[in-house]
Structure 1
Amino acid sequence: MWDLFVSSFPSLMDGMLMTLRITVVALLAASVIGFIIGLMNISHFKALRAAAIAYIDLIRGTPLIVQAFFIYFGLPSVLDFRITALTAGTIALSLNAGAYMAEIFRAGIQSVDKGQMEAARSLGLPYRRAMLKVIMPQAIQRMIPAILNQFVISLKDTSILSAIGIRELTQSGEIIIAGNYKSFEIWGMVGLMYFVVITMLSYVSRRIERYYRL
């Protein structure tokens, strides 16, 4: 068992680093998408709200694996271009997480008392500056636990991207098993690595949440 662990760990660690890399990049992109879509969702313009709702419903209403297949196989066949599995998977995860981040931003902004905006506007601040200087700092403080939770969810969702050939942690385990047929041991190692990373993230999330409650 120890020899199996020693021989498999470097490959599994490479897969875990790829998993973390995809998750971080996707969540950064999802934060930008979520912020824009979240603001559109609370806009006074009906067209912007309708577009935001359509995007959120479309992404949340379809599985991530279908979105990954559509971007990796569907679009290139129609538009006649090539895209790597890593790029397609990162885009799919970014768009998927972006829909959930949009709801986090919307809920966070709307959780701030309306009187804060009214007070800022009464002091002469334009709407945009009042949003950035007054509303967003309070909203982000409340959104941090939900954002960290989405990071955990997105990290686990990267395992789905093994279906399009990305060598993240799950596919690294599959490749090792194909060579030694040690399914029980390898999947145990893969599960343990996910568990350790997710437990650490959950601990950080609880600490941050406890800090802001003080």
Structure 2
Amino acid sequence: MDIALKVFPSLVEGTKMTLEVFFLTLLLSLPLGLILGLLLKTKIKWLSYLLNGLVWMIRGTPLLLQMIFVFYGFPLLGMVIENRLAAVLLAFVINYSAYFAEIFRGGIQAIPKGQYEAAQVLGLTKLETLKKVIIPQVFKVVYPSVGNEVITLVKDTSLVYALGLSELMKAGRIAMQREVSIIPLIDVAIIYLVLTGVMTLILKYGEKKINYYQ
């Protein structure tokens, strides 16, 4: 118990970094994923091949590898990112945008063609059709899948320690080595369980709201 209380302040500091990476990634990757998901449906062949190839490559390689490539590989290409947090966020946003893009593309494909035809009959432009008819329905379809990715993102933030950032996992590992005890890792597990539990409750609340307004 004494060790748990002793290491708690450092774990709280680490949790702040974890939450920062989580919220910034979510804030940036969701809209980018939606835009990319729409572009994946383009009828321009060369653009379709390019975007689908990029998404396949990003989803087919580990996030950890992408982080290392951004921080250590980009400088070899003449693009230096000195800020480690910026490198982490870039890798996370690229990775999750690709996953969200596939989810949104699936949601778009699930919308019946009749919805587009009905919007056309009503005189809506393509942009108005997307904004007022298609996208609201897509969000209802993809909500569970997006929710799963959000929970995964909470846990994936533990990877940022690889670039030396003092997030929750790194704080727990340092505390474990310093105290020569497994208790700090148990504290870390509890904090992650609390974070994922809170996000699960928020997502379930959102799902109820969506179902209520259907």
Would the TM-score normalized by the shorter structure come out above 0.5?
A: yes
Gaps of 5+ in 2: none
Paired residue for 1:193?
191
Aligned-partner SS, 1:44: coil
C-alpha contact (below 8 Å) 1:145/1:206 kept by paired residues: no
Paired residue for 1:166?
165
Report deviation, 1:174: 1.4
Alignment of structure 1 residues 53-132 onto 2, 5 Å = 53-79=52-78, 81-132=80-131
Q: Normalising to structure 2: TM-score of the pair?
A: 0.93
Instruction: Tell me which amino acid in the other structure corresponds to 1:145.
Output: P
C-alpha contact (below 8 Å) 2:115/2:133 kept by paired residues: yes
Gaps of 5+ in 1: none
CA separation in 1, counterparts of 2:130 and 2:81?
41
* Residue 26 (structure 2) pairs with residue 27 (structure 1): yes
CA separation in 2, counterparts of 1:123 and 1:207?
34
CA separation in 2, counterparts of 1:47 and 1:28?
29
Report deviation, 1:79: 1.0
Report deviation, 1:78: 3.4
CA separation in 2, counterparts of 1:115 and 1:65?
42
CA separation in 2, counterparts of 1:130 and 1:33?
19
Deviations 1:31-57 (A, max 9, x none): 122112101111222222212211110
Identity of matched residues, %: 34
Report deviation, 1:130: 0.8
RMSD: 1.5
CA gap of 1:82–1:127, structure 2 versus 1, over 3 A, is: closer
Report deviation, 1:120: 0.4
* Residue 3 (structure 2) pairs with residue 4 (structure 1): yes
CA separation in 2, counterparts of 1:34 and 1:56?
10
C-alpha contact (below 8 Å) 1:71/1:88 kept by paired residues: yes
Instruction: Tell me which amino acid in the other structure corresponds to 1:9.
Output: F
Report deviation, 1:178: 2.7
Aligned-partner SS, 1:37: helix
* Residue 127 (structure 2) pairs with residue 147 (structure 1): no
Deviations 1:45-85 (A, max 9, x none): 22222122111101011101110000011112331634221
Aligned-partner SS, 1:83: coil
Aligned-partner SS, 2:43: coil
Paired residue for 2:179?
180
With 80-89 and 108-117 compared, the bigger mean Cα shift is at: 80-89
